[in-house]
Structure 1
Amino acid sequence: MEVAQGMHMKGGDGEESYANNSIIFQGNVISSTKLIREEAITSLYSSTLPRSLAIADLGCSCGPNTLSVVSEVIHVVENLCKKLNHSSPEYKIYLNDLAGNDFNSVFRSLDSFKEKLRDETKTEIDRCYFFGVPGSFYGRVFPDRSLHFVHSSYSVHWLSKVPEGIENSKGAIYINETSPSNVIKAYYEQFERDFSVFIKCRAEEIVEGGRMVLSILGRRGDDPFSKESCDLLDLLATALNHMVLKGLIEEDKVNTFNIPNYYPSRSEVKSSILEEGSFAINHVEFSEVDLNNSGESLHDSGYNVAQTIRAVFEPLLVSHFGEAIIDDVFQRYHEIVVDQMSREKMQTVYFTISLTRKAQ
């Protein structure tokens, strides 16, 4: 299945867009990992005092989360400059995602972002330059030793492609308890290849002493079938299979649709980092996002989940099935999620890992 054209979030500012459906889960992750990033950028700046600070956000997407980490980093550095009585550095901000990302909406927001930043920091910050960098981070994206701080959130669980050799994965769109062993093996091996390349490329692009903070959607243990990593996609498969039974989708279309994600364990991620050898691991922290929002009805909690999943996966679904089925799929998905929430607590798990580029 060709997925490159669909491997981006839903653009624009409509009701189902990623911009309007990325606060509850993705935004929660960014907020809850703030202290880890603050420690990383404080350590970096205090130890190196760069006159020009290059910051990259990999898998930046679009919407309110895109510039939130950049704002946070600049606030930390500006406060340090005031304490140390230093002039503000030059900021070079690189926003990376695949070419299908809605970069235009990001660029349109930059003037208001800069104005707000000046008001909040009480400084001119006149040397703050933004660059859109389209391309896959599973390859070189930046020149040698050009970056000081790299951040990526909710992105590295995306694979470069659907694993090969999983034609016998029937009725599922990701790993589940019925998956043949070769399917599980293929997904893990694709992740291992991709993540190893990711780490190697960043090692070449980040300066010695530079920092990288990754928040990765994953799982706590070694069980690849854990509900925390499989449940949401399994329920989406249920919605699609319901439509097969109703004659609304061909069975073969579902059997040939597979999501290019992998939700790794901490040990799988650490193994790749340690094997590559260029980074020291400073900190690893697990967190979870409860999908059953105690302040909302089940209907509303389920709706938020369905809208979030739609904003993320609609482009892939449209690429494979066409646009005509999308509303029906997510109406069914909403109902299935609400039913699941009524019977058990649902959550997703992610972990944040902070790294330092070692000296050669």
Structure 2
Amino acid sequence: MGAVSARLPVFPWDKLEPYKATASAHPDGIVDLSVGTPVDPVPALIQKALVEAADSPGYPTVWGTTELRDALTGWVGRRLGAVGVGHRNVLPVVGSKELVAWLPTQLGLGAGDKVAYPRLAYPTYEVGARLCGAEPVVYDDPTELDPAGLKLLWLNSPSNPTGRVLAKDELVRIVAWAREHGVLVFSDECYLELGWEAEPVSVLHPDVCGGTYEGVVAVHSLSKRSNLAGYRAAFLAGDEAVLGELLQIRKHGGMMTAAPVQAATVAALGDDAHVQEQRARYAARRTALRDALVKHGFRIEHSEASLYLWATRDEGCWETVDYLAGLGILVAPGDFYGEAGERFVRVAFTATDERVEAAVKRLGQPFARTGSE
């Protein structure tokens, strides 16, 4: 039996360990801006919902409770502007990374099929293609791809790692092209509520999809907007035929969101106040780090949304990683996200106010607290 892992690239984060050791040796400790994991508390109303649902001895359903589906459809309509969304247009999943990694397999793709994703992208798009034996294909403009054999097209707006936002007219053009060629579009919109210098638009907005969800599905996560990375709470919305097929497969596979997490998701999607509070925290950290990096000689490209700054000193990314590690600051090298990122680093602003203040100080710029910590 051949090892499936042999199909996959080397797990990139292992390469950072020596630089993490260097940064950790700083007298004031490491400032870890590499991974982008939430560090702020889970909002109290979400914790309360989780605890109240803790006595859940029975199996949850893959499709979720009626209350959860109501919450999903309500949020998609209210926040994304989607129209006519019913229960058959939504599906909870066990975190978005699981979905990205296993979607091509669940769609029945394999040898001879192609999965396309941006040239600079979250590495799990490639992993998903390789796990099922499909061919991974990168693009700058997806409408310039050869559609022959192309079964799945990943969009990612706002982008991880660059923070780039696809304009509405770009989305319209891409969706029209994909439908013309029978290519299924999955749009990773997990950072949609974190637009700073641009307002991200969902592929489900009627101006983009024309009021029909045929051939389009959006992926959303509560990890960043609600600090729920530890809960593994995410969902899909869009084409009911595609989601219906995935529902049947996931029933057989036992891919169930835990019942307490379903209850917590209902609470999270029903409250916008905590999202705005978290945005304010991130906005302050973003401004402080961006200003400090620019004054320190970095150039920031894109970064109009998401939780990252896409930064360069016009040198190899590992040189920059090494340089910042010497200041006790750990960042992610751009080549983790594709060869086109070899002269950039991704700087997350998910650290606490205190750690962001430490980074800014090391970069030579005062830091103004938000009052959130």
TM exceeds 0.5? Answer: no
Output the TM-score relative to the length of structure 1. Answer: 0.36
